[in-house]
Amino acid sequence: MTAFAAPIAEQIWDMKYRFKDADGTPVDETVEDTWRRIARDLAKVEDNPAQWEETFYDALADFKYLPAGRIIAGAGTKRSVTLFNCFVMGTIPDDMGGIFQMLKEAALTMQQGGGIGYDFSTIRPKGADVKGVAADASGPLSFMDVWDAMCRTIMSAGSRRGAMMATMRCDHPDVEAFIAAKQDAARLRMFNLSVLITDPFMEAVKADGPWDLVFDGKVYKTVQALDLWNKIMRGTYDYAEPGVIFIDRINAANNLSYVEQIAATNPCGEQPLPPYGACLLGSINMARLVDRPFEDGADLDEAKLTELVSVAVRMMDNVVDASKFPLEEQAREAHAKRRIGLGVTGLADALLMVGSRYGSEEAARLTERWLHAVARAAYLASVDLAKEKGAFPLFDAEAYLASGTMQAMDKDVREAIREHGIRNALLTSIAPTGTISLYAGNVSSGIEPVFAYAYTRKVLQKDGSRTEEEVVDYAVQMWRDKFGDVELPEYFVNAQTLAPLDHVRMQAAAQKWVDSSISKTINCPEDISFNDFKDVYMEAWDTGCKGCTTYRPNAVTGSVLSVSESADTTPSENPETATDGDVIYMSEPLDRPAELEGQTYKVKWPDSEHAIYITINDIVLNGHRRPFEVFINSKNMEHFAWTVALTRMISAVFRRGGDVSFVVEELKAVFDPRGGAWMNGKYIPSILAAIGGVIEKHMIATGFIAGEGMGLKTDPHAQVVNLSGNRGPACPSCGQYDLRMVEGCMTCGSCGHSKCG
């Protein structure tokens, strides 16, 4: 028997969390070994480590408590890695030396795999005077380009990818350029962007009043607040960026408002953090705590929930002492406040098990009740830890209890804190759980609705072949096991069939008892009107949310998988002779015809003596033209070896068939640390990226792909159960068409790869 509820769970464990030697030999023979490793490592700081090891192991067993992925992968391995997921870096000074010192700190943090957040509002706007050098400032966006290049460099060195979040205040003079920055598909690809929205700005929006853009006391420009709001909304409507963070609301609610000011968040937005703040994450698996699922009287076992939360808080508090930190400033900040972010996953599955429709008023009431129980148990557990081990060093009872969040807390909890103190300054957060939810048996992620009831994924075998396996949502599988393969009740809803305002209702219900914030995506239909789209954000503001992230599939953002009751799941008997789409899957490469049609393109790279010539020849199969081979030539002998290698590798890929558009994205993502170049008004990070752009241009011209940054138009052999058709690009890790926007982060349902690391 295996502890895993689904094959994909075991595969995720093996790929991402299983401890292995440097040569790939497993140290963790079973997942129970992984649980034991984590439990032992986090118990070592206790006075009675053997006792607490068993308690911690029991919490981890059966996937009841799910530490964040970095803890699962790193705890007890003796590797020099941080167990914290992400950081907000120090305040960027408005001078060149300070800016590049911050860049160095960011690089060191990302080298250890941590995602980072930065507020760029502190840098003077473009065109402002630079005293002493008789020059104009280049502005914060120019330095964001430098950060972006640094992130590419770190990635090219083989380090684990860590995402970056950039924020800018809504009153900064360069905010309009910030809003539009990522509308250039080649710019700031390593960043998520969010605008810091203040209370006065929202009041001005509602009143259609004027709004000053100010830096260092000087008004640079006055705009209409509603016009600026509409620019933000239009950006996220068309490009899914920027996000919106209600920063004044965050600071008013913050338990630590008496010692810190927040101006940035981690990359997914669920952890608003001060300078050098770090997010320590973990989730209670609600799907494992429902008593009598799908029966009359089914309900969450709140006694078990309370007990599990208490143990999880203790484990997370121990991580603060067990973890390494990239920077000493981060270690000091973590130990001074002992901030943790305990959240939940499997909420939507738990709601299904008790017969409640996600997004309904009943589901919102249940969500509020359950998360109230989590918050209450977490705070009382932290009080108990304070009795035993002491309160966090910066604790001030009256100041702490005066915060917005603590004023809403239960009276007995407030009195316990006043009397005994509290170990952890903040305790709750809803983090992205895309990968760990797969590891736990494909439970629903965080507080998101079920994305899909079931789908099939292609699994690459060691011999190079691919097999197909069905991936079923945890609650749906439980329903099937109990009742057979019968029609699902009407309260089974998913992310694509929900109205956007139902998403907002659930986020607002959860936010009442989450002292940090929530990583959640509000899925919007492609045909939602712009005014209805804006109403989603206004509803998020009106109902008390701390931020809002939406995803509307379109030609720019790419489509996500959509629900279809009539999806045809019968594979073609002979895909090599399929006539209904562009993708041809082949077991052997095609033979080269005697003649091929093609085009030759010239690329003149700045500062290079000789141009590069790129010839792309196409083959026509079943009436569709697709790239077959590439020849790259240059008179510059310094280019000879790599151009020959690239010619052979790309041509070999093209001749195997399938979706080869990933070649474009891989080339365009290559960064040259010596510097790129501006070509035709766009910054190209390397000569390889320029070649990728040429191949992309050719693919668009021949109809192989629909447009810049897009994959193939159709894939007739992407077999999906209850899903079909509209989909975005392939996963850059496993190549499957299973990317989905979940909890504010593009995540692959097949391998767990996440843009956010």
Q: Which residues are catalytic?
A: 266, 268, 270
What is the distance between the alpha carbons of residues 84 and 79, in angstroms, rounded to a whole number? Answer: 14
**What's the CA gap between 213 and 158, in Å, rounded?**
41
CA angle 71, 74, 77 (to 5 degrees): 140
Cα dist from 383 to 180, 356, 549, whole Å: 46, 33, 34
* CA atoms of 265 and 678, how far apart (whole Å): 31
Q: How far apart are CA 100 and CA 142, in angstroms?
A: 13
CB atoms inside a 10 Å sphere around CB 738: 28
H/E run at residue 457: strand 454-460
Helix (H, G, I), strand (E, B) or coil at 362: helix
DSSP-assigned beta bridge partners for residue 597? 618
Of 55, 110, 72, 748, nearest to 434 (Cα)?
A: 748
CB 164, CB 192: distance < 8 Å: yes
Rounded distance, CA 318 to CA 286, Å?
23
- Alpha-carbon distances of 95 from 106, 116, 362, rounded to whole Å: 17, 21, 53
CA distance linking residue 507 with residue 527, whole number of Å:
23
Residue bearing tokens 């007995």: 412
List the structure tokens of 470. Answer: 């069905």
What does the alpha-carbon distance between residue 325 and residue 327 come to, in Å, rounded to a whole number?
Answer: 5
Question: Is residue 656 helix, strand or coil?
Answer: coil
- Whole-number Å distance between alpha carbons of 450 and 444: 5
- To the nearest 10 degrees (0 to 180), the angle between helices 199-207 and 225-239 is 100
CA gyration radius, the chain: 26
Tell me how far apart the alpha carbons of residues 204 and 334 are, in angstroms, rounded to a whole number.
37
Complete DSSP assignment for 13-66: IIIIIS-B-TTS-BS--SHHHHHHHHHHHHHTTSSSHHHHHHHHHHHHGGGSEE
632-635: Cβ within 8 A, 24+ apart: 632/691, 634/610, 635/610
How far CA 686 is from CA of 308, 602, 605, 621, 653, in Å, comes to 51, 16, 9, 33, 22
Helices (H) and strands (E) in the chain, counts: 24, 31
Neighbours of 53 (CB within 10 A): 19
- Nearest Cα residue to 506 out of 448, 546, 427, 433: 448
Helix, strand, coil fractions of the chain, as percent rounded to 5 = 40, 20, 40
Amino acid occupying residue 644: V
Q: Which residues contact 215 (CB under 8 A, 6 or more apart)?
A: 124, 125, 128, 172, 173
